[in-house]
A and B are shown apart, each in its own frame.
Chain A
């Protein structure tokens, strides 16, 4: 194991895949400058090893970054398109949703679209309405796409590898606050399979399901509740589509209580999908109705007191967990 940041681990993962397969390449804005990509240096140095045909510093042209990735994927390569933020990803939703997600099906299985699109999600302090959105549910709702949202450096590296090797288009969502977070990363290949959750803490009284940065907050909440003598099972889904229903069902059958925590706006979010699905499949095992927590239905405000009102905090998850336990 080696301790490293999420950004470094994912960069390592990309470099390893690029060494393994000469048809893997990356494209996006500012990828080859000394700045090394976005604020987290996710591409620093890669241009030196792989050159400008495989680390392509693009114009500010989101439609073409995404469209080119689709074209290059159907033409036999494995592009990793970086759209920086999920908010800018919206500029290229058309190419992703109308093209990448449809081509295999619409053309009767003649082609595959093996691309990865990186889109950062989550509130970064003070980034406000157009740089802080969590849009994972949009893409889960789109047939044809795989959606992953890793929450640790090891999962970031391991899931990026699976995403690159997958023949489906994969939306890879990384949380901006996690880029600088550190964790142990295995020294071996460390591939993390798509669709497999990780039970990061076992317990018997309550199942807490989450993903991305929220999963880390859920671990904190479980720790706090352990102090009260309550044992909480925390599941980090890591993949949202497909998601690990088996792991969640088994846990809920054991605990009888489920709280799903997400950072995105609660209304119409992915937690609603998990809650409904578990209710449909594990109703008999539930001691109380499934609960969820997400952000209020508002754009992300700037000033700190309002931004804090928007945030899903450990305290708020804890309150909802206590409510679920008391019911």
Chain B
């Protein structure tokens, strides 16, 4: 029961330029998020996607709003690429009204269900099994949609990875697994704790078509993703995309990377995807001015998003009681706004 799908024409300057713009938006978001974190506007921790932008961008360029993605802890880039609103995301990071998750989740729990972004995740590998479920739902409802799950190299050592791949194959589900291999899992070099030949070999062991790509080449990712997604839409079952990249930044923004060899990071910066894409555009007919203007526009948009988020109010404490569950009585004081008794509202935003 294969469906005919229009092949995507990748590698065209106009298309690649659009991918470039998305990557710049992600890069700007991540850099400004770090500044905001350092200035005390963001709590917890942030896992940046810097240097890995080409993967989410190239993959999501081939997805529709009706397709689902499931992300992990490093989810800002996936969200932006899938069409989540960066302004709302920045508000989420700063814990303000108008955040993507109503400021309930923060950086590690960005989600935008309106564009099929079913959530970043604080627990490794859970996106894989939930992705399988989303694909089951698509097949149950007879929808013309697919699921994409992003998974880090380190996470391929968790059991749910194998359960999900096996299950997806057994039921021939419309799902693509994208392994973002940035060589590291926190402070551990993944290969030091990983047997065998890596994620592609592991996927193939389940009989799953699995392909390797230079994850810092946005066009290459786009081309492979277009092919694999076309196969899935045509009823070809699960596909595995393995993208080689490198985590040029710390695991979290304040990670000083003491575990890295001298010069290692610097060497890899030379290979980061935005510079490579800019070079490609320059030799493929997009004027340097245009490229620079696009980059500036991305930073201008994110700077405005930061300014807007800083102006936005903090949510009222009473909102903490919303959305816990339907059944069962809420805490008795939830109506007053706080367990400390009725609030006059002026307190919101003026915490510690």
Q: Which of A272-319 contact B (CB under 8 A)?
A: 296-299, 301-310, 315-316, 319
The distance from the CB of B88 to the nearest CB of chain A, in whole angstroms, is 14
Establish whether residues B122 and A61, one from each chain, have CB atoms under 8 Å apart when the complex forms: no
Question: In which size bucket is the chain A interface?
Answer: 35 or more
Q: Mark B143-158, 1 if CB is under 8 A from A, else 0.
A: 0000000000011011
Q: How far is the CB of A132 from chain B (nearest CB, A)?
A: 9
- Asked, given contacts A34-B259, A130-B123, A296-B321, whether A60 binds B106 with beta carbons under 8 Å apart, the answer is no
A124 to B45 Cα, complex, angstroms: 10
Q: List 6 A-B contacts (CB under 8 A).
A: A59-B194, A124-B44, A297-B324, A298-B331, A305-B314, A305-B347
Q: How far is the CA of A82 from the CA of B106 in the complex (A)?
A: 26
Q: Which residues of B contact A61 (CB under 8 A)?
A: 157-159
Please name all residues of chain A whose beta carbon is closer than 8 Å to the beta carbon of B154 when the two chains form the complex: 59-60
Q: Does A57 contact B (CB under 8 A)?
A: yes
Closest to B349 in A: A305
With A91-B123, A316-B339 known as contacts, the answer to whether A30 contacts B186 (CB < 8 A) is: yes
Judging by beta carbons under 8 Å apart, are A35 and B157 in contact? no
The answer, among A34, A130, A304, for a CB contact under 8 Å with B352, is A304
- Docked Cα-Cα span, A24 to B300, in Å, equals 56
Judging by beta carbons under 8 Å apart, are B339 and A309 in contact?
Answer: yes
How many angstroms between the C-alpha atoms of A88 and B157 in the bound complex? 15
Q: Within 8 Å CB of A316, what residues of B?
A: 339-340
Tell me which of B12-20, B97-105, B221-229 binds A: B97-105
Which B residues contact A (CB, under 8 angstroms)?
42-45, 92, 95-96, 99, 101, 103-106, 108-109, 121-125, 154-155, 157-159, 185-188, 192-194, 255, 258-259, 314-321, 324, 331, 334, 338-340, 347-349, 351-352
Measured between beta carbons, the chain A residues less than 8 angstroms from B348 are 305
Q: Contacts A302-B103, A306-B103 given; indicate if A126 touches B44 (C-beta within 8 A).
A: yes
- A200 sits at the interface (CB 8 A): no
B155 and A128 within 8 A (CB): no
Q: Name the 10 nearest CB pairs between A and B, nearest first.
A: A126-B43, A126-B44, A130-B122, A303-B95, A35-B187, A59-B157, A303-B103, A302-B106, A306-B320, A33-B187
Bound complex: CA of A308 vs CA of B193, how far in Å? 39
Are B103 and A60 within 8 A (Cβ)? no
A310 and B258 CA atoms in complex are apart in Å by 35
* Interface pair B259/A309, CB less than 8 Å apart: no
Give chain A's interface secondary structure class: loop
Q: A34-B259, A128-B105, A297-B331 are in contact. Are A309 and B324 (CB under 8 A)?
A: no
- A113 CB to closest chain B CB (Å) equals 22
- A62 in the interface, Cβ–Cβ < 8 Å? yes
Contact of A308 with B192 at beta-carbon distance under 8 Å, contacts A128-B106, A301-B104, A303-B95 already known = no
Q: How far is the CB of B317 from the nearest CB of chain A, in Å?
A: 4
A18-44 to B contact mask, C-beta < 8 Å, 1/0: 000000000001100111000000000
Check A129–B331 contact: CB distance below 8 A. Answer: no
| Contact (Cβ within 8 A) B317 A309 | yes
Most A CB contacts (10 A, CB to CB) among B106, B316, B349 go to B106
Distance of A88 Cα from B126 Cα, bound (Å): 11
Contact of B109 among A59, A128, A304 (CB under 8 A): A128
Return chain A residues, CB-CB under 8 Å to B125.
60
Say yes or no: A305-B316 contact (C-beta < 8 A), given A29-B186, A60-B124, A296-B331: yes
Contact partners of B314 in chain A: CB under 8 A:
303-305
CA distance A315 to B155 in the complex (A): 42
Q: Is A162 an interface residue (CB 8 A)?
A: no
- For the complex, give the distance between the alpha carbons of A304 and B347 in Å: 12
Bound complex: CA A243 to CA B38 (Å): 42
A58 within 8 A of B: yes
**Are the C-beta atoms of B109 and A130 separated by less than 8 Å?**
yes
* A302-B324 in contact (CB<8A): no
Enumerate chain A residues within 8 angstroms of B340, measured Cβ to Cβ: 315-316, 319
Asked whether any CB of chain B lies closer than 8 Å to the CB of A87, the reply is: yes
- Verify B104–A303 contact, CB threshold 8 A: yes
Say if the beta carbon of A137 comes within 8 Å of chain B.
no
A130 CA to B125 CA in the complex, in Å?
13
- Collect the chain A residues with CB atoms within 8 Å of residue B193's CB: 57-60
A257 interface hit (Cβ, 8 Å): no
A102: Cβ under 8 A from any B Cβ = no
With CB as the reference atom, state the residue of chain A lying closest to B340: A316
A34 touches B315 (CB 8 A): no
Contacts of B121 in A (CB 8 A): 130
Q: Is the CB of B321 within 8 A of A128?
A: no
Verify B331–A125 contact, CB threshold 8 A. no
A126 touches B42 (CB 8 A): yes
- Among candidates A87, A125, A298, residue contacting B324 with C-beta atoms closer than 8 Å: A298
A316 and B317 CA atoms in complex are apart in Å by 15
B274 to chain A, nearest CB (A): 28
Inter-subunit contact B157/A60 (CB<8 Å)? yes
Pairwise interchain contact B108-A34, C-beta atoms closer than 8 A: no
- Taking a contact as CB atoms closer than 8 A, the residue among B96, B158, B188, B318 that contacts A33 in the complex is B188
Distance between Cα atoms of A176 and B190 in the complex (Å): 26
Contact B324 A63 (CB under 8 A): no
Q: A302-B92, A304-B352, A305-B351 are in contact. List 10 more A-B contacts (CB 8 A).
A: A62-B158, A90-B123, A129-B105, A296-B339, A302-B106, A305-B314, A305-B347, A308-B351, A315-B340, A319-B340
Closest to B341 in A: A319
Whether, in the assembled complex, A127 has its beta carbon less than 8 Å from a beta carbon of chain B, the answer is yes
Smallest distance from the beta carbon of B18 to chain A beta carbons, Å? 32
From residue B98, how far is it (CB to closest CB) to chain A in Å?
11
* Interchain CB contact under 8 A, A35 and B324: no
- Do A60 and B123 contact each other (CB < 8 Å), given the known contacts A303-B314, A305-B316? no
* Residue A131 at the chain B interface, CB threshold 8 Å: yes
Q: How far is the CA of A33 from the CA of B192 in the complex (A)?
A: 11
- A310 with B320: CB separation less than 8 A: yes
* Cα distance, A298 to B338, chains bound together (Å): 13
Please tell me if the beta carbons of B188 and A57 are within 8 angstroms of each other in the complex: yes
How far is the CB of B48 from the nearest CB of chain A, in Å?
16
A315 to B339, CA, bound (A): 11
Q: Which residues in B have their C-beta under 8 angstroms from that of A297?
A: 324, 331
